[in-house]
Structure 1
């Protein structure tokens, strides 16, 4: 992975709103980190997704982390974590959803394929279902942008074709 895209979306439950953050690998479209919370606070949501991505990464130096200008992503604590792992921060143009198109696509697919299919009780209900959806997205779902392959297949093919190179990856998407 050379670049990760991140964004936050919300889910309405019977007990209030739940927020989801994903970090997506641009190369393979794999969701490499995610988190759910009843709070949008930086430490409660996007930082958790980023930490998951970093914890699973083989290497972080030289990665580019792209996001919108949301307060969580321009916060001191979030950018401090990026700097700590030598990940370059990139933000799009204010008000231009095309700058964060991959993250918006992941959020739209999440809502269409999972969230809008039923009424949710609470954060635990959404978290269990999201875990299954992320696994399906990474391992089973075919992606048109990947030539109708899965993120797992794309990564496997890259590693087989390039045995001397490792994929630089962050394992998380907010």
Structure 2
């Protein structure tokens, strides 16, 4: 048995540094002229039924000395990643593509779903508002500068980077895309969540659907 201070001293003597978060890339740039969007979520990240509350965010991934960007859509009630998009830019179409992918995953109709995000310019854009309106989705945004208001999306990205991001980033775009695709598939079908009774998101949704049909 050793205490924390001894571990720190031994690591320091041998030049060992623990793995830590890399330099942050600013992906949230508030849109100054954006119309006000209410906070419909109010930090409610509890488990529930599918297609009631979604959340999304954008993160950066180092690839061959430059950045790629990943936008995701997570069903808060079931923890399933229902849509995502990767690109070498952060324009509005990145988040629109992720949202449209989520709508397709859910059969093309999701009226009344709440989509929560930060105040990034992509989510405050007219293009994204139009995509939400076309699908019957209600936009929601937390307070400016408050990561806690989109904590589920933030935690998801932290897990993804910790588990699959190489120390120096990926060498090619193809490698990055395959790694992210594989991890998202694993996350949805095999990753067990304590909040879901140690079921994967897809298994939780399957059992929830069976129980609803039986009732």
Q: TM-score, normalising length from structure 1?
A: 0.89
Q: In the comparison of the two structures, how many residue pairs are matched?
A: 164
Superposed, 1:39-78 pairs within 5 Å as 39-43=89-93, 45-58=94-107, 59-78=109-128
Higher relative contact order (CA 8 A, sep 6+): 1
Deviations 1:96-127 (A, max 9, x none): 11100111111111111111466301322111
Shift of 1:164: 6.8
User: How far does the alpha carbon of each residue in 1:58-83 deviate from its partner, in whole angstroms, 9 at most, with x for none?
Assistant: 33111001000000000000001101
Confirm or deny: 8 A CA contact 1:37 1:123 kept in the other structure: no
In structure 1, stretches of 5+ residues that fail to align are: 166-174
Q: Is the 8 A contact 2:71 2:85 kept in 1?
A: yes
- What residue number does 1:16 align with? 66
Given the two structures, how large is their TM-score scaled by the length of structure 2?
Answer: 0.73
- In structure 2, what is the Cα distance between the partners aligned to 1:72 and 1:38? 14
Q: Measure the CA separation in 2 of the matches of 1:26 and 1:36.
A: 21
Give the alignment of 1:142-157 within 5 angstroms: 142-157=192-207
Name the SS for the 2:199 alignment partner: coil
Correspondence 1:2-151 to 2 at 5 A: 2-43=52-93, 45-58=94-107, 59-116=109-166, 119-151=169-201
